[in-house]
Amino acid sequence: MTYTQLGLLAIALTLVVDLWILRTRLISRRLFWVSYSIIVVFQLLTNGALTGFSIVRYSGDAIIGSTSPVDSPPSFIGDGRLVFAPVEDLMFGFALVLLTLSMWIWLGRKGIQRSPVAGPPIWRKPD
């Protein structure tokens, strides 16, 4: 599988989890999209730094639209990239954020949370 196919599969599976398995329906909420827009800015900065300085390299055969060889520096925008990073990184980032928030909401609805809500752990004394 290519990086593109894996990214699309990650989005599809995460949407299934959000909409039909956990039924949190986060993608239909404005708050999710506002939160995601803040997160994606920092994702682009981080991915841009890692790929712009060639700390992370991608094969042109595995990502969308890339025709440049691995040894050449990535383009800032274009050639299947946005802020040096492949567009597929945005797919994985979206899937990661959506899945994490969906699980968080679902677990919160189930009442599975730490007690007390804040502060250091409470160590119980043996009886």
pLDDT by residue, tens only, the chain of 127 residues? 888 899 999 999 999 999 999 999 999 999 999 999 999 999 999 999 998 888 988 877 778 876 666 667 788 888 888 888 899 999 999 999 999 999 999 988 887 766 655 666 666 665 5
Question: Can you give the pTM of this predicted structure?
Answer: 0.81
- Looking at the chain, the number of H-run helices and the number of E-run strands are 3, 3
Q: Diameter of the chain by CA atoms?
A: 68
* pLDDT score of 89: 93
* pLDDT score of 91: 95
* Spans of all domains in the chain: 3-109
Helix (H, G, I), strand (E, B) or coil at 82: strand
Helix (H, G, I), strand (E, B) or coil at 101: helix
Q: What are phi and psi of 52, to 5 degrees?
A: -65, -35
Radius of gyration over every alpha carbon of the chain, rounded to an integer in angstroms: 19
* pLDDT score of 124: 63
76 Cβ partners below 8 Å, 6+ apart?
52, 83, 84
- ∠ at Cα 92 (88, 94), nearest 5°? 110
**50-56 contacts: CB < 8 A, separation 24 or more?**
50/85, 51/81, 51/84, 51/85, 51/86, 52/76, 52/83, 52/84
